[in-house]
Amino acid sequence: QVQLVETGGGLVEAGNSLRLSCVASEHRPTFAMGWFRQSEGKEREFVASISVGGDHTTYSDSVKGRFTISRDNGQNTAYLQMNNLKPEDTATYYCARSVTLHYTTNRRDYIYWGQGTQVTVSS
């Protein structure tokens, strides 16, 4: 069983930045990681994913150019740097660990999930 703990959420004004962190309980990183988000009344949606080596990433169109996913395998930590935040980015953000080595946008590839961290962007 892998445990994931997200931190870094909060309330910010539009145009500002936040950085989310996700610490995994695994002894060493073995699979791709991803970030998803879910806003009230909507389904959970893909945000970003990074390969196990950290050299390949992919993003949803809605965050491309504003968000950056990264990882520090020595610290078993994944990050999501969110810049130029918009009110529509308001959601609970979830970190997840996949069963693939390469990045993946498919929610079914992710078998471990964190508890989520709330991000609220005011206009």
Backbone region of residue 15 per phi and psi (left: phi > 0; alpha: psi in -120 to 50; beta: other values): left
- What's the chain's length in residues? 123
Scored b (16 or more CB within 10 A) or e, 4-28 reads bebebbeebeeeeebebbbbbeeee
Q: Looking at residues 105-114, what average pLDDT do you find?
A: 97
Burial of residue 122 (number of CB atoms within 10 Å: 0-12, 13-18, 19+): exposed
The model's pLDDT over 50-92, given as tens digits with 9 standing for 90+, comes to 999 999 999 999 999 999 999 999 999 999 999 999 999 999 9
The model's pLDDT over 98-109, given as tens digits with 9 standing for 90+, comes to 999 999 999 999
Residue 46 has a pLDDT of: 98
Residue 83 has a pLDDT of: 98
Structure tokens at 20: 């989310």
